Structure 1
Amino acid sequence: MARPRMGIGTYGTINTSEVQPGKWRARTRYRFTDGRARQVEKYGASRAKATSALKQALTTIEADRGGELKPTTSLRVLAQMFLDAKRDVGRSEGTLETYGYAVSAHIIPKIGNLTVAEAKPERLQPFLNRIEKESGAGAAKNCRSTLSGMMALAVVNGATEKNPVRELERISRSRAKRRGSAAIPLDELPAFLAIARADADLMRWDTVGLIEFMLSSGWRVAEVCALDVTSVDFSAGTATVEAINVRVKGLGVVRQNFPKTEKSARITPLPAQTMELLHRRHEVLREFTTLLFPTPLMRLRDPSNTQREIRDRRDVLGYPALSTHSFRKTVATILDQEGLSATEIADYLGHENPSMTQDVYMNTIKGSKRAAEVMGQRLDGLI
């Protein structure tokens, strides 16, 4: 019966011999990524030292062969190759930062010294379990997604036959623990806006105008923060989502010149009073910036800081569950109650899938009317 063939990146039995007094040789055959097995040997002052030197050499023996991916490539190196590959294909800075955080905060410190060949489900599952326990389901999902991309790269480059992440358990947040933002009851909108306009902190942060715009447009906070006057057509009564603000490590807040998803890139017809709001803001700000919702210092507004501003004042405003997402839910509720379909509301909000709009934002589905007209009628006298 023929002897089984060694796998790529593996070696055979290590043989040792004393070639002269005080000098030992350790020798074995190693199968390289080109499929050929070659003899490798190292020397040491004792049998143990020679064996140790050989094993150490075998872990890096192909490291200088053009940077190719191999079964012996460490996850530390693979992670950097993965990030470089995502950067080369033009992934957004926000996406790169998300992947990069998983790599730097979790993958490299905890399993970075494992090789591709060692990245088996029985090693990766405990790692993800630990991340979920210590840092939460969100961090574990991010690590799982990043690891999946890394190992997919390894598969494409022939360093492993299959992606081990596919065999891992899915990470899901318990529905009982899931807490969504609440829409503002429509009959309470006048009182809510009155309180917001009277809040000294929100006025000082120039957040009130942003709230008013979100309550009529349904835009995401990162989309509003990036809105430039060049994206507004005052004659047509529309504003175009074509950028978002994101915070990038080492750069601060940047204006990313494409939105969250392909569906997010949309032209939104806006109520007349909302267009007037944008016109007033442009007239006040045009001397300093073309942005319509900058910081008081006329810089790019950070969506995370804006979310924090809302959280800091929500108890004072009388809505403990309030967030910037509440404004999108409020818009969806208005459009739903006025009879727009799930598809129409999804288009207005920039959702990829109408079912997401229906599941998360709506209670019932009815007929069809124009979203901008509906919002103008419901917010008449409020904005």
Structure 2
Amino acid sequence: MPRPRTPIGTFGEIYYEKAPGGRFRAFARFRDHDGQLRRVQTTAATQQAAARKLKELLAERAEQSVGQGELSGSSSFRHLVDVWLADLDLEGKLAQSTRDLYERNMEKLVMPAFANYTLREITVRRVDQFIKTLASTKSYSTAKQARTVLSLAFGLAVRYDAIPRNPVRDTVRLRKPPSQAQALTVEQIEVIRTAARSWRRGAGFSGPPPDGQLEQIIEVMLGTSARIGEALAIRKCDVDVTVSPATVRICGTIVSPKGKPTHRQHHPKTLKSTRTVSVPPFVAEVLRQRLVVVSDEGPEHLIFFSRNHTPLTTNNVRRRLRAVLEEVEIQGVTPHSFRRTVATFLDRASGPDLAAEMLGHTSSKITKEHYIQPDEQVDPVTADILEVLAPQNRDEP
């Protein structure tokens, strides 16, 4: 009956034999990383000393058999992160922006806590305490992001047989604090429009006035439900104002990868996010104005762009909007606020399914949980229905 194979990087039983001069030789068969079994031996004055030297030698050999792209329990956490990031690049399944976010979260949030540990030293207790501390000192969102990248990295370590289990899996589950999506009112939208139209215009401001694109971008987001990156990625060929109502095809987004120029990505956040939406007249008018601006450009040209005809970055638009709102003391409004507003207004008029379709969500559950402001008003029809419970004889006390 064949003997079981010795796993790579380990050894079987230790054997002994007499060596010249009354010494002892200890030896074992060691399976190297190439899968070959080789005899490894040491000699010492006593049998115990020879065995001890052999175990030390085999431990060193096992560490040496771990290549640059391999992992063991003695590998540093930083080495795990390097291997994990390289593995993400090899798979190529993540959008570049997501991959950069993972790396940033790992470096900024996680690495300071675990950089000096080996993998076998990072226990469930250490990870649990780290995540709880982050949630209490920073935020739920920060702790969740740190937990995500930790779990992904340690998942790779488990697949590489470096550790027996993922220490993140047994940590306490994070409890999301209660929150509600907030939509803008019609009155608030008008205040924002007025602030954008008047920002840095008039006497007392040096330099060229704003080019008016910010207020137009706001209108497009309000009429299409597009994310900020999707709105900035709309091209001349994506707009059709010859039909009624006018339509816009949402089929890309603007990305700014680390170390690379800002450019248009030829797909939005998800496959479902690719959609053609009909827009209200106030948005169609803005689109006609933008088409006039790019009338001499090719069909692939963006309708919103910088003075150098390069893509606008999402961060610059967010920064500009924040500056506009600070002057009128409006807080908490971001480009995503317009998307939530669209979802809430559509839900009130026709229900969450239409809102989900407009926003490009795979299900209305996401839309209801994160984008639609809860409606506290119960349908007034309840008053008529419950009238059946009124006293039968109203004259009696």
Taking structure 1 as the reference length, the TM-score comes to 0.73
Q: Secondary structure at the match of 2:237?
A: helix
Q: Which amino acid aligns with 1:226?
A: A
AA at the equivalent of 1:221: I
RMSD: 4.1
In structure 2, do the counterparts of structure 1 residues 130 and 366 end up closer, same or farther at CA, with 3 Å as the change threshold?
closer
2:217 to 210, 213, 224: 210
Q: Which amino acid aligns with 1:319?
A: I
Matched residue SS, 1:212: helix
Q: Unaligned 5+ residue runs, structure 2? A: 1-5, 13-26, 202-208, 380-397
The residue number in structure 2 matching 1:93 is 96
Superposed displacement of residue 167, structure 1: 0.7
Q: Does 1:333 align with 2:344?
A: yes
Greater Cα offset, 357-366 or 341-350: 357-366
Amino acid corresponding to residue 341 of structure 1 in structure 2: G
**CA deviation after TM superposition for structure 1 residue 284, in Å:** 0.8
Counterpart of 1:323 in structure 2 is 334
Does structure 2 conserve the Cα–Cα contact (< 8 Å) formed by 1:186 and 1:330?
no
Which residue, out of 350, 357, 374, partners 2:367?
357
Indicate the larger mover: 184-193 or 238-247.
Answer: 184-193
Aligned counterpart, 1:279: 288
Q: 1:194 to 1:96 in 2, by over 3 A?
A: same
**Would you say the 8 A contact 1:341–1:366 is kept in 2?**
no
**Does the C-alpha gap of structure 1 residues 286 and 112 become closer, same or farther in structure 2, counting only changes over 3 Å?**
farther
- The whole-number CA distance in structure 1 between the counterparts of 2:29 and 2:320 is 64
1: distance between equivalents of 2:39 and 2:87? 32
Alignment correspondent of 2:227: 220
* Percent of aligned positions that are identical: 26
Deviation at 1:181, TM superposition (A): 6.7
Residues in 2 aligned to 1:300 and 1:106: alpha-carbon distance in whole angstroms: 30
Give 1:343's aligned residue: 353
Aligned partner of 1:62 in structure 2 is: 65
Match of 2:17 in 1: none
- The secondary structure found in structure 1 opposite 2:119 is coil
Number of positions where the alignment pairs a residue of Structure 1 with one of Structure 2? 344
Supply the AA of the counterpart residue of 1:208.
E
Q: Distance in 1 between matches of 2:193 and 2:43?
A: 77
Q: Distance in 2 between matches of 1:330 and 1:218?
A: 8
Gap change, CA 1:198 and 1:108, over 3 Å in 2: closer
The offset of 1:238, in angstroms, is 2.0
Q: How far, CA to CA, are the matches of 1:40 and 1:348 in structure 2? A: 71
**Which residue type is aligned with residue 85 of structure 1?**
D
Q: CA 1:320/1:41 → structure 2, altered by over 3 Å: closer, same or farther? A: farther
Alignment equivalent of 1:264, drawn from 273, 280, 284:
273
Listed one character per residue, the Cα deviations across residues 35-92 of structure 1 (whole Å, up to 9, x for unaligned) are 989758799xxx9xx99x969946832233x733433333322222222222233311
Cα 1:9–1:146 change in 2 (3 A) is farther
2:322 to 311, 318, 332: 311
In structure 2, what residue type is equivalent to 1:325?
H
Deviation digits for residues 173-210 of structure 1, max 9, x if unmatched? Answer: 533xx5x6743212454454234322237944631110
Indicate conservation of the 8 Å contact 1:217/1:268, yes or no.
Answer: yes
For residues 40-51 of structure 1, the aligned pairs below 5 Å read none
Give 1:294's match in structure 2, choosing from 305, 315, 322: 305
